[in-house]
Amino acid sequence: MVMKITFAQILFAVVFTTLTHAASEGRAQEIMERMVTIHAQNAELRNVLRDIEEQADVKFAYSQKNIRAERTIDVHINRQKLATALSTLLDPLHIAYELTAGRILLTAETGAVAEPQQAEPAETPSSPAVAQIKGKVVDENNAGLPGVSVIIKGTQKGTTTDQQGAFALDVIEQNAVLVFSFVGYKPQEVTVGGQTTLSITMQPDNQALEEVVVVGYGSVRKSDLTGSVASIKGDAIREMPVTSVDQAIQSRAPGVQVTQTSGAPGGGISIRVRGANSINSGSEPLYVIDGFPIYPDNGALGTSGNRQPTNAMATINPNEIESIEILKDASATSIYGSRGANGVILITTKRGKEGQSRVDYDGSYSFQTIAREVDVLNGADYARYINMLERSQGGNPRYTDAQIAQIGKGTDWWDVISRTGGLSNHQLSFTGGNKGMRYAFVGNYLNNKGIIRNTDFNRYGFRMNLDNDFLKGKATLSNSWSFNRSGSSNVPTDRGGPGGIVITALGLDPTGPVYDQNGAYQYASYDQRFMTNPLAEATEGYDKDFTNRLFGTTALNVNILEGLKFRTSLGLDIVNARRTTFYNNFTYLGRQNGRELQKANRNSNNILNENILTYNKEIAKGHYLDVTLGYTYQKEINYFESNATRGLPSDDIDAVNMQNGSRPLVPTSGRVEWELMSMLGRINYNLKDRYLLTVTLRRDGSSKFGPNNKWATFPSAAIGWRVVNEEFFKNSGLAKVFDDFKIRASYGLTGNSQIPVYRSVAGLIPYNYVFGGVPALVSGYAPNRIPNSDLKWESTSMLNVGLDFALLNNRLSLTIDAFKNKTTDLLLDVSIPQSTGFSTIMLNSGSLSNKGLEFSANYKLISNSSLTWDVSGNVSVLRNKILDLGKSTPFFSNSTSGHLGVLGSWVQAGNPIGVWSGYNYVGLFQSDEEGKSYSARAGYPKYEDVNGDGKYTTDDFKIIGDPNPKLTWGFNTSLKYKGFDLGVFFRGVHGNKIRNLQQSEMGDGVQKINQIANILTDSWTPENPNASRPVIDGRRDFISFRRSSFFIQDGSFVRLQNLSLGYTLPIKSAYIRNARVYVSGQNLFLITKYKGFDPEVNNQGQNNLNRGDDYDAYPRSRMFTVGVNLGI
């Protein structure tokens, strides 16, 4: 076995040495052919070099003194190869460059001398020299480093190395310490002692070279990261037009499931990071924007209304974002304590940079059409369907053959209410700065006209990020503020009851016209329940809301000592929202209520103070310590009020006010207040860039919980091993294969405090009592719940094991994570005896788990001056399971739609969250005799008789579907050839089920509403006994049918999310930095077996328990976009 392993290592070494030699020469050429654009005026040279580093993904090494890096220059370079750009920049400065060891080495041409030069001290000492020290300084590849600064510590005496890296320096003390420094390498200190000749090997400063990842209350080198963190750059967000940031991260990161719960403009989004960790509490991740934590509760920031609330994150401009980090395990999230269980999304917005003044404009316009339609019966077929129903109930046909022929196709109600939508998106940004001040100003405007009439969403606003240095650069005042105003026009969609615009348009009688003979609206019967006209509902109803959001922080950063920094900040999130809804006499509710006017207002004020002390230093050779300590305080006050009145005199919204109604309704109002006080600490320890340790501790106190459990502690620990830096690894054949190899593991506790406030105490509500010998009704107050002083946090333990490695000269990087999360002390409403006067009490009861695997990869297939081709992808596998309900018995959650008679999801230990329990459909009865004992006839649905008692009862219920995906993935590739660029983005979800409640109503074959188009051909008849659908029969029990697995459908899909083609114009101008035009398409095609509008749907928005229900959903659109990017 030993000989086999040795032979394999030799084989690896031979093969990869050959490949590496060939690749290194090719890579050097590829680096120098990368394109850069630089426009700088009166900017320090070192800042221009940093800008080139970012654009070309290179690193410079140089002596600041020799090349005078602090000098200011003017330079304008527009889309030139790096080699040409360096010559343009450096030749006038008499600076030479050389690509060596993966870095660009800069030296001063006039500084090259034959012999090492001795620098004169500031003051000539009288003491004679003890000895002259000579030596040579080399890099990690043993090549001489010219221009290295050699200084006697504590003095100004020193020298620099010559072109070969040699130096000579007189010292006067035997115990003198020499300090060697060079930009791009770690400084070294060497004690002279009795030595006269020194050989110094400089080590690369990887902290300056490697990517930095933002984490909670700080940042770390990616190589030092011990937690599970996914990063998304701002360029990926801007690849396609979106109204909110959460839309843009779909399938960009493993373990993150993003569901667009409504296709309406500004519609809701729901995100799950590594599954749902709670049953009743909120399961959305915590967002932290420039250090300010917010929870995206759409309902808490909206104004209610007859539809799902607008997306809370849509009030923030996604194009302002520089980068996104998604924290997923305890090592990364426990620093946020009681709010970290559901993951944390860190958002960093754009900031200005020194020496660069830039103006950028991004504009696009998108055309929107419905991506996938649901076909229903036309007028003539609907008449035939109604005739069949009438006959099944013993009646006569309603329509004659002549009438059916006259009806023809009838009215396509969906076509009547729909239109071609549009999305206009514009952004103008100004960025730049000088040595003491940096700025970024971003203005934005977005207008989204929906594909249903009278639906739209618009937003405009600005962001100002400003950084000012003072106290000679030791302190910085940072401001990060944004203001956005958004508005939306809405129609009733994504609801659970009748009257929604989508379900009405699909199910309404198509035999009647839109208008009557007088040009007025023609009202048709919806299953004999109410008269309506979808066009009138869409265009005559008025439902608009407007939201103003001021959001940001002001922070003071002070460099106290070397490595010791203090930051204090004050942040505000102020949301003011108002809604006006008016139903005139042309709408169903308006006719029913004599017109109705509603007004609602919400005011949310959230204040944050954070005080963070950090210490980062190499405390001994090879021992790096990074310590973070902090105290934070956050408070929110949320007000809401709503008023309504009926019996109004006019159909004109501008002519009515609340006082004009003759039947005012009882107004409602509320006030919610909570506070969170926290102390936090984290220690990062790095031993010789090989062994990593992270320990985090946070203690939170929340006003939401009982007096006995207001405080809780959330610890975590993580370790990492950079195997790639071990000597045995470097000396093995594996070093020729892997450029990076790191193993990490973490474990810790996080919490979830997203429950309604005041649940630990009893409130008082108005109540009527009967008192006295002569009974009299007296108004008073009574408790509304039983208090629970022991109510505490839900706690989630997280175990994560990960592997990061890179191959092929860092062109291929891969990350693998395995995790297991367990949540205990679930917050549940547990049933109690009715004799208490209440039905439930909130208790900590039960547990659940989420476990899975995540895989992500990035591969640079081709990278040269004319062609680059990058491929990236991710795959996630997740399993969710309720382990225990504690004192709670299994239960059905609240119904998605009461009028349909369907039940909510089934909650029971051993099952995933959200599963449906009902009758298992197994086929159709073929004769009356066969179905007799089940009160069924020929052609009626047949279900599994689980207990074999010959009848259908709830005892025959079983698990019939699970809305949780088993596998999700995303695939992205970008190709750039000369000025052209092509981007393709696919994503997929597999193994989940959808409950098609929309078809359960308009595909049951029982009700007198329009049905799906194939119901006449696919329903059972004596002549079609092998049909896939039950017989059309108005006597049939449709409630049991709706509760069966017949309407549970496969929700798996593959979607082409984005396809873009762009061209960068070859403009060479001192004023135009770049100009690009592009066309793109979103949601271009979909592969799925699902029979509704779209399998990505969730009628209940952010609800944990009822997911995957499709009813009255606003359809998703397909978009075609044209746009331009202009930089000056």
Report the pLDDT averaged over residues 448-472: 94
> Is-contact 853 877, C-beta < 8 A?
yes
Q: How confident is the model at residue 28 (pLDDT cuts 50, 70, 90)?
A: low
Ordered alpha helix ranges (H), 397-515: 401-407, 413-417, 501-507
In tens, the pLDDT along 364-375 reads 999 999 999 999
Q: How confident is the model at residue 7 (pLDDT cuts 50, 70, 90)?
A: very low
The three-point CA angle 521-526-529 to 5° equals 115
**Lowest-confidence range among 150-154, 352-356, 520-524?**
352-356
> Token match 């019967």: residue?
525
Is residue 413 predicted with pLDDT exceeding 80? yes
Report the pLDDT averaged over residues 326-351: 92
Encode 420-445: b = buried (16+ Cβ within 10 Å), e = exposed.
Answer: ebbbebbbbbebbbbeebbbbbbbbe
What pLDDT, on a 0 to 100 scale, did the predictor assign at position 269? 87
Is residue 499 predicted with pLDDT exceeding 80? no
Residue 36: count of CB within 10 angstroms of its CB: 21
What pLDDT, on a 0 to 100 scale, did the predictor assign at position 27? 56
What pLDDT, on a 0 to 100 scale, did the predictor assign at position 326? 93
Q: How confident is the model at residue 995 (pLDDT cuts 50, 70, 90)?
A: very high
Cα-Cα-Cα-Cα torsion 359, 362, 363, 368, nearest 10 degrees, comes to: -170
Residue type present at position 175: N
In the beta sheet, which residues pair with residue 868?
Answer: 863, 976
Is residue 126 predicted with pLDDT exceeding 50? no
Report the pLDDT averaged over residues 337-345: 92
Q: Which of 634, 703, 642, 790 is nearest to 286 (CA)?
A: 634
**Lowest-confidence range among 145-159, 626-640, 989-1003?**
145-159
In tens, the pLDDT along 864-917 reads 778 889 999 999 999 999 999 999 999 999 888 888 889 999 999 999 999 999
Contacts of 402 (CB under 8 A, 6+ apart): none
Q: Within 13 A of 1044's CA, how many CA atoms are on the CB side?
A: 26
Residue with the bigger pLDDT between 742 and 835: it is 742
Q: How confident is the model at residue 123 (pLDDT cuts 50, 70, 90)?
A: very low
**Cα–Cα distance between 1096 and 988 in angstroms, integer?**
10
What pLDDT, on a 0 to 100 scale, did the predictor assign at position 934? 93
Mean pLDDT of the chain: 88
**Cα–Cα distance between 967 and 877 in angstroms, integer?**
5
In tens, the pLDDT along 321-336 reads 888 999 999 999 999 9
What pLDDT, on a 0 to 100 scale, did the predictor assign at position 192? 86
Q: Which of 936, 164, 1056, 639 is nearest to 945 (CA)?
A: 936
Structure tokens at 510: 């198509």
Report the pLDDT averaged over residues 1073-1082: 92
What pLDDT, on a 0 to 100 scale, did the predictor assign at position 110? 53
Is residue 25 predicted with pLDDT exceeding 60? no
The DSSP string of 444-461 is: EEEEEE-SBTT-EEEEEE
Structure tokens at 773: 């010998």
Q: Which one of 3-12, 56-65, 445-454, 838-847 scores highest in mean pLDDT?
A: 445-454
Is residue 694 predicted with pLDDT exceeding 90? yes
**Cα–Cα distance between 211 and 639 in angstroms, integer?**
43
Contacts of 126 (CB under 8 A, 6+ apart): none
Report the pLDDT averaged over residues 610-629: 94
Contacts of 144 (CB under 8 A, 6+ apart): 136, 137, 138, 161, 163, 164, 165, 166
Contacts of 555 (CB under 8 A, 6+ apart): 291, 477, 478, 479, 480, 567, 568, 569, 570
**Cα–Cα distance between 940 and 51 in angstroms, integer?**
72
Residue with the bigger pLDDT between 492 and 411: it is 411
Residue with the bigger pLDDT between 527 and 668: it is 668
pTM over 0.95: no
Structure tokens at 173: 């003390």
What pLDDT, on a 0 to 100 scale, did the predictor assign at position 23? 43
Is residue 535 predicted with pLDDT exceeding 90? yes
What pLDDT, on a 0 to 100 scale, did the predictor assign at position 210? 63
In the beta sheet, which residues pair with residue 177?
Answer: 191
Structure tokens at 651: 């159909």
**Lowest-confidence range among 68-77, 215-224, 242-251, 1058-1067?**
68-77
In the beta sheet, which residues pair with residue 553?
Answer: 480, 571
Question: All domains of the chain, ordered by start, with CATH?
Answer: 33-111 (3.55.50.30), 117-207 (2.60.40.1120), 229-374+416-889+964-1000+1046-1127 (2.40.170.20), 920-956 (no CATH)
- CA distances, 1116 to each of 201, 450, 1001 (Å): 61, 10, 21
> Is-contact 481 467, C-beta < 8 A?
no
Report the pLDDT averaged over residues 244-273: 87
In tens, the pLDDT along 171-190 reads 888 788 899 988 778 888 88
What pLDDT, on a 0 to 100 scale, did the predictor assign at position 35? 78
Q: How confident is the model at residue 102 (pLDDT cuts 50, 70, 90)?
A: low
Q: Within 13 A of 621's CA, how many CA atoms are on the CB side?
A: 5
Contacts of 92 (CB under 8 A, 6+ apart): none
Is residue 130 predicted with pLDDT exceeding 90? no
Given CA atoms 256, 257, 263, 264 in this order, what sign does their dihedral have? negative
**Lowest-confidence range among 276-285, 913-922, 1084-1093?**
276-285
Is residue 113 predicted with pLDDT exceeding 50? no
From the number of C-beta atoms within 10 Å of its C-beta (0-12, 13-18, 19+), residue 559 rates as: middle
Q: Catalogue the E-assigned strands of 584-667.
A: 596-620, 623-646, 663-664
Contacts of 1068 (CB under 8 A, 6+ apart): 78, 79
From the number of C-beta atoms within 10 Å of its C-beta (0-12, 13-18, 19+), residue 1100 rates as: buried
- CA distances, 365 to each of 426, 448, 984 (Å): 9, 10, 19
What pLDDT, on a 0 to 100 scale, did the predictor assign at position 117? 41
Q: What percent of the chain has pLDDT over 90?
A: 58
What pLDDT, on a 0 to 100 scale, did the predictor assign at position 191? 87
In tens, the pLDDT along 539-590 reads 999 999 999 999 999 999 999 998 999 999 999 999 999 999 999 999 999 9
What pLDDT, on a 0 to 100 scale, did the predictor assign at position 765? 84
In tens, the pLDDT along 951-975 reads 999 999 999 999 999 999 999 999 9
